[in-house]
Structure formats: C-alpha cells, structure tokens
Structure 1
C-alpha cells in the first residue's frame, strides 16, 4: 500500500506493554535534550517504566494474510514529524489511517469492545459461539466478512464447510436487507395513512366550523 493512497485497514486489536521509556520534561525549568526529554546529571535521558499501547491492523481485503503491529503514539498524524512531505500526501495517508484506528482505540481505552463495520457474528444464528470464536481468531468479526471471504482465505480458517458457511452468510444478509426494506416500506405506508387521517380530520373540523357561518349568511339573505 503506497503512501499516496488512502489506507483501507481493519483494526484487529490492541495491547499494552510496560517499558522503560524516556520522560518528557519542561525545557524551561528542567534539563532536557533537543527533543524535550529529561536528562540526568551525566547528560543521559532519564528512563521510567511507562505504559505503551500497541495496535495490530491489517488490510481490509486480507485480514488473515498481513498483520502489522505498531506503537499507537507513532500512528498519530503529526505535521511536525512528516519530514519531506511538500505535497502533504504522507500527512493525508497518516490522517486517513488514524481516522480508522481512533474509534477502536477510544473503545479500547474505555474497556469496551472494538466497534465493527457490519453485522456482528453474535447476531447471526448461522454460527455457534464456538465457531464465532474461531472466526474471530482468524480476524473475521462480521457476517459481511464471512460473505466476502476469498478461496485462499477460507483455507486458513480452521472450520469445516467454509464454502457453505460463506453461502449461508450471503443468504442471511440478503434476507436481512429484504426484511429491512419491507419494514421501511411498512413504516412509510403507516406514515402516509396517518397523514391522510389527520388531513381528513382537519377537513371535517373546518367544515364543522364553517357550517354556522353559512347558516347565518343564508338567514340574512332571506331577511
């Protein structure tokens, strides 16, 4: 994936390690190096054990074949660290990639499940919890991802009858889409019916209110 293309990735997960890392300081009041890290009396960086978050991601089209693990802090798009990036393509690339990582990272930091794009496997009656866990271990988290599996990818999933599972995923999603479309049409019909009833009620009320006026006008004409 070249740097001048917007990345399409799938976040696989996060983890936290604890490492001896340099400590940021206050260059005005503390002895620091050119990058702002605190120095000891001998001029060496002061190290402390700190939490380091890592993200593992893969290309969306091939979650099982290629996985990359990086420090989260190095994934942040920072214009001051782009180096030779006169046309801004590198910054665009990193910004697009971070926009796909950030929601999942926020969920991870809050102790929540990583959000998925599509229908979660748990919502599909076509797989058991045990099968769903095997799929998740292979980087497959949604019914759409089962439907879109390529031949070479299915061979790497440690489950039998993957072609049939892919077929059932496709049918399930088609039926779900059809059901949603029918529900939308039913809701639309209900709204139209309600509007028609309200219009009829308003017309009846208007006619009722104008009847006395018509009667008085007729009486005056007769007089």
Structure 2
C-alpha cells in the first residue's frame, strides 16, 4: 500500500531565542504528515531535518525527498504520483470521495486496500480496477513509443545497408557485362608503321 505524504510548516517555540530575548520567540519548522493511502486514522508526523532526509534517502524514499523539495520551492502541496484531476476516468464527485478518504493520486487508488474500498462505498472496487487498467495502459504507451523509436532506427539502418548493397550489385553487374562482352576472333589488325627505317 502506498503512503500519502503532506508537508506543512508549523510555528514552534525557539527556546534559545526566548531565553535570549526575554519573551517568547518562534521559528518555522517543516513537518511531513504521512498516512497510508485510503486511511485517515494511521498518521505519523516527522519533523524534517537533514538527518531525516538522509534516513529517507537510505530507505529509498527519493519520491518523498523530491516532493519536499518541490513543496519548499512552490510553497504548495505536492502529490506523489498522478493527481486525480489528471485522470480522465474519474468524475468530479469520485475525486471528492477519494480525497475525503486520503486517496490523492491514481496510484493510491490502484493500491487501495479493503478498508479504503469499503469507505469509498459502492463502485470503490470498480474504481480501483479502472485505476490499475489506466496505469497499465499509460505505461504500455511509453513502452510502445520506445518500440516505435527502436524500429524506426533499425529501419533507417536497414535502408542504408540496402542502398549500399544495391550499389554493390550494380557495380558487379557492370563488371560481369564487361567480362561477358563478345571477343573478336582472329588476329588483331595490323598496325602499319610508316617509319622509313
């Protein structure tokens, strides 16, 4: 099951600055709120620090790191995966139901467990199957495009080889004609020399 990661900035007391200034001082701290896709109950909050980013890197959660960098750059929420609004197979009402159940991407709908499907209500299982089929079709388009590019390159190479072979055949034909030309019989014609010697 995939996870939904939402980033937020919170104000926290900066204890050292409070002591130094003599009044309460705050600083901004970034947090990652992680929950299982389709679950609104299982939520874990992480305070983001360089150490936390290194830990995510070691755990293979590069998508989370990239989403965090994008969130910091844009200052808005980012979704890991294909946003529901980009999926043509879903209605606006279904998008709202999915969002209310913490399913924010097509991938999270495809990975939804039984509890999430139950909360989606009637049609939830069908929506999951549609998401899986759409993702498979989207990935096969990329595979198909790569095959087309490879075939076009192979075709160009074969055309070039074919052109070279046609030139070779034409050259060999000309040589064969020269060898097969009828030979004149008899002695060669006498060349008269007018040398008075």
Query: What TM-score comes out, normalization by structure 1 length?
Result: 0.59
Q: CA RMSD in A?
A: 3.9
1:113 deviates by 4.9
Q: Which residue of 2 aligns with 1:114?
A: 78
Question: Does the C-alpha gap of structure 1 residues 177 and 15 become closer, same or farther in structure 2, counting only changes over 3 Å?
Answer: closer
Q: Which is richer in helix? A: 2
1:90-114 deviation line (CA, Å, top 9, x unaligned): xx67842774532221111111552
Note closer, same or farther for the CA distance 1:40–1:181 as it changes in structure 2 (3 Å cut).
closer
When Rg is computed on C-alpha atoms for both structures, the one with the higher figure is: 2
- How many matched pairs? 178
Segments of structure 2 that go 5 or more residues without pairing to the other structure are 184-197
- 1:154 equivalent among 113, 117, 125: 117
Identify unmatched segments of 5+ residues in structure 1: 1-7, 24-36, 79-91
| Alignment partners' CA distance in 2, 1:19 and 1:69 | 15
Q: Deviations over 1:15-49 (max 9, x none)?
A: 122233134xxxxxxxxxxxxx79549xx8x7522
Q: Deviations over 1:163-185 (max 9, x none)?
A: 22122223333443444444333
SS at 2:25 equivalent = strand
Output the CA distance in 2 between the equivalents of 1:100 and 1:182.
25
Q: CA deviation at 1:147?
A: 2.3
Separation in 2, partners of 1:200, 1:107: 51
Alignment partner, residue 166 of structure 1: 128
